[in-house]
Amino acid sequence: MSHSAHLDTFTRDHVPPAALQPEFIFELPALQFPPRLNCATALLDRHIAAGHGGRLCIRAPGGIAWTYSDLQQHANRIANVLVSDMGLVPGNRVLLRAANKPMLVACWFAVMKAGGVAVATMPLLRARELGQIIAKARISHALCDVALRAELDSAVAQHPELRQCVYFGDDSAGGLEARLAAQPATFDTVDTAADDTCLLAFTSGTTGQPKATMHFHRDVLAICECFPVHVLKASPDDVFIGSPPLAFTFGLGGLTLFPMHIGASSVLLEKASPPDLLEAIVEFRASVSFTAPTSYRAMAAAAGARRISAPHGGSLRKCVSAGEALPAATRALWRDATGIELIDGIGATEMLHIFISADETHARPGATGLAVPGYRACVLDEQGHPAPTGTIGRLAVKGPTGCRYLDDVRQEKYVVNGWNVTGDAYLQDRDGYFFYQSRTDDMIISSGYNIAAPEIEEVLLSHPAVAECAVIGVPDEERGQIVKAFVVLRASHAASDVLACELQDFVKAAIAPYKYPRAIEFREALPRTETGKLQRFRLRQPA
Which positions lie near ligand 3UK, rule CB under 6 A? Answer: 203, 249-250, 322-326, 344-349, 353-354, 368, 422-424, 436, 439, 531
Residue 34 Cα to chain centre, angstroms: 27
CB of 423 to ligand 3UK, least distance (A): 5
- CA dist 227 and 320 (Å) reads 11
Measured from the CB atom, the residue of 187 and 227 that comes closer to ligand 3UK is: 227
Measured from the CB atom, the residue of 140 and 422 that comes closer to ligand 3UK is: 422
Measured from the CB atom, the residue of 42 and 421 that comes closer to ligand 3UK is: 421
CB of 424 to ligand 3UK, least distance (A): 5
CB of 201 to ligand 3UK, least distance (A): 7
- CA dist 315 and 308 (Å) reads 6
CB of 53 to ligand 3UK, least distance (A): 29
- CA dist 385 and 465 (Å) reads 43
Measured from the CB atom, the residue of 274 and 323 that comes closer to ligand 3UK is: 323
CB of 256 to ligand 3UK, least distance (A): 13
> Taken in order 441, 446, 452, 457, is the CA torsion positive or negative?
negative
Q: Which residue is nearest to ligand 3UK (CB)?
A: 347
- CA dist 485 and 504 (Å) reads 10
Count the alpha carbons within 13 Å of 246 in the hemisphere toward its beta carbon: 29
CB of 228 to ligand 3UK, least distance (A): 12
Measured from the CB atom, the residue of 257 and 278 that comes closer to ligand 3UK is: 257
CB of 517 to ligand 3UK, least distance (A): 21
What's the N-to-C CA distance of the chain in angstroms?
52
List, in sequence order, every residue forming a beta bridge with 74; answer none if it has no partner: none
The amino acid occupying position 286 is A
**Any idea what DSSP says for residue 256?**
I
**Any idea what DSSP says for residue 201?**
E
Measured from the CB atom, the residue of 354 and 396 that comes closer to ligand 3UK is: 354
Measured from the CB atom, the residue of 192 and 531 that comes closer to ligand 3UK is: 531
* Residue 436 and residue 430 in contact, taking contact as beta carbons nearer than 8 Å: no
Measured from the CB atom, the residue of 348 and 377 that comes closer to ligand 3UK is: 348
Measured from the CB atom, the residue of 287 and 422 that comes closer to ligand 3UK is: 422
CB of 86 to ligand 3UK, least distance (A): 29
CB of 17 to ligand 3UK, least distance (A): 23
CB of 251 to ligand 3UK, least distance (A): 8
Measured from the CB atom, the residue of 33 and 258 that comes closer to ligand 3UK is: 258
The amino acid occupying position 255 is L
Residue 420, classed as helix, strand or coil, is strand
CB of 148 to ligand 3UK, least distance (A): 21
358-367: which pairs have CB atoms within 8 A and are 24 or more residues apart?
358/231, 358/433, 359/231, 359/232, 359/233, 360/318, 363/331, 364/433, 365/328, 365/331, 365/332, 366/328, 366/435, 366/458, 367/429, 367/433, 367/434, 367/435
DSSP 301-343: HHHHHTT-BGGGTSSB-EEEE-SS---HHHHHHHHHHHS---E
CA distances from 201 to 117, 166, 494, 513 (A): 10, 21, 42, 42
Measured from the CB atom, the residue of 251 and 263 that comes closer to ligand 3UK is: 251
Q: Residue 453: which of 510, 517, 409, 501 has the closest Cα?
A: 517
> Taken in order 448, 450, 454, 455, is the CA torsion positive or negative?
negative
* Residue 248 and residue 122 in contact, taking contact as beta carbons nearer than 8 Å: yes
Measured from the CB atom, the residue of 124 and 185 that comes closer to ligand 3UK is: 124
Measured from the CB atom, the residue of 21 and 203 that comes closer to ligand 3UK is: 203
CB of 418 to ligand 3UK, least distance (A): 18
- CA dist 46 and 31 (Å) reads 18
CB of 322 to ligand 3UK, least distance (A): 4
Gyration radius from the chain CA atoms: 23
